[in-house]
Amino acid sequence: MYFLRRLLFLVPLALIISFLAFAFVRLMPGGPFDRERAAPSPEVRKAMEAKYLLDKPLLVQYWHYLEGLLKGDLGPSMKYRNHTVNDIVLQGLPISLTLGLSAFLFALGVGIPLGFFTAVYKGRWPDYTGSFVALLFFCVPALVIGPVLIMFFAIKLGWFPVALWGSPLHVILPTVTLGIYFSGRIARLMREGMMTTLNAEFVTTARAKGLNETAVLLKHAFRLGVLPVVSYSGPLLADLLTGSFVVESIFQIPGIGVFLVNSLFSRDHTMTVGLVLLYAVLLLVLNLIVDLVYTIIDPRIRYE
C-alpha cells in the first residue's frame, strides 16, 4: 500500500519537476538560435521561433510540451535538427546505463568486501591497510584517476582503448574511473555498519550458542551491517550520475550526460528539459526500489 502510494506520488512530482525545469531553461538568457553559423535574418529567426513555439507565452508552450509528453514524445531537439530528443535518448541511454550499472557493481563488489574485512579485523594491520586504501579510493575522483589510467594503461601499455565506446574492452577503464571513488565510500559505510552490528547482543547470542564465526559474520551480522550501504544506494545513484558526466567527457563516450551538458551551453531547451526529466524520473524510481530492498533485508522496518 505504502509503495503504491509512493508510486502514484511520482506522477505529480514528475510534473512539478518538468515544469520547474521548463520554466528555468526559458528564464536563461539567450536562445537556441543565437549561435547559428550564419546569423539568420529576422524573418527566418521569427519563423524558427514560431516553429518551436518560442514566441508563445510560457504556459502555452508548457501545455504543448505536456501533450507531447503524454504520448511519450519529448519533442524535437532545437540544435540537432532532424533529431528528436527521443532519438538521442534511445541512442545514448543504453550506453549511460551500461556505464552506470557496471560502475555501481564495481563499487559494490570492491567496497563491500573491503569494508567487511576491515571491520572484522578491527584494530589490526589488515584494518589499517584496508581503511587507508578505502580512504585513498575516496580521494581519487574521476578526473584525477581517469587521465592517469589513460596515460598508463591505454597509451603506455596499450592494453585498453584510449576512448570511445563499442567493445567490452572499452568499458573497463571508464568503469574503474567512475566506480573507484564510490567503492571507497561504500567500504567506509560498510565498515561502520559492521562495527555497530558486531557489538549488538544478537551477535553475542549467536556466538554463545556455538555457531562458527563464518556463520555469525555472514548470516547474522552481514545482513544488518549492509544496511547503511543500501540506504546510501539512493544518493549513490545520483552521485554516479554527476560522476558519469565527467567520465563520459574524459573518455568521449556518447552517453546522454554529454548531451545534457552541451544542451545547457547551446540552450537546446527541449533537450535540457527532456534529459533532466529523464534523470529525475530514473532516480526517483530507483530510490523507490532501494526502499523496497530495504524492507526485504530488514523486516523490522515498516513504512506506515
Partner 1 sequence: MSDAAVSVNALSLAAADTREHLSPNQQAWRGFRRNRPAIVSSALLGVLVLLVVLWPLWRTSTLSDLVPRALTFSPTELTDEPFSAPNPTHWLGTDANGRDILSRMFYGARISLVVGLVGAGVSLVIGVLWGAVAGYVGGRVDNVMMRIVDILYCLPSIIFVVLLMALVENQFRAWLSGTFSPQLGGLARMLLLFIGLGAVSWLTMARIVRGQVLSLRTRQFVHASRSLGAGTARILRRHILPNVYGIIIVYVTLTIPSIILYESFLSFLGLGIRPPQASLGWLISEGALQINPIRIYWWMILYPAGLLGLTLLALNFVGDGLRDAWDPRTKE
Note the residues at the interface with partner 1 (CB under 8 A): 13, 17, 21, 24-25, 27-29, 135-136, 138-144, 146-148, 150-151, 155-156, 162, 196, 234-235, 237-238, 241-243, 245-246, 249-250, 260-261, 264-265, 276, 279-280, 283-284, 287
Cell of 231: 540506504
CB of 286 to partner 1, least distance (A): 8
By beta-carbon proximity to partner 1, the closer residue of 25 and 78 is 25
By beta-carbon proximity to partner 1, the closer residue of 8 and 144 is 144
By beta-carbon proximity to partner 1, the closer residue of 211 and 283 is 283
CB of 83 to partner 1, least distance (A): 22
By beta-carbon proximity to partner 1, the closer residue of 26 and 45 is 26
CB of 195 to partner 1, least distance (A): 9
CB of 43 to partner 1, least distance (A): 28
By beta-carbon proximity to partner 1, the closer residue of 21 and 69 is 21
CB of 190 to partner 1, least distance (A): 15
Burial of 72 (0-12, 13-18, 19+ CB in 10 A): exposed
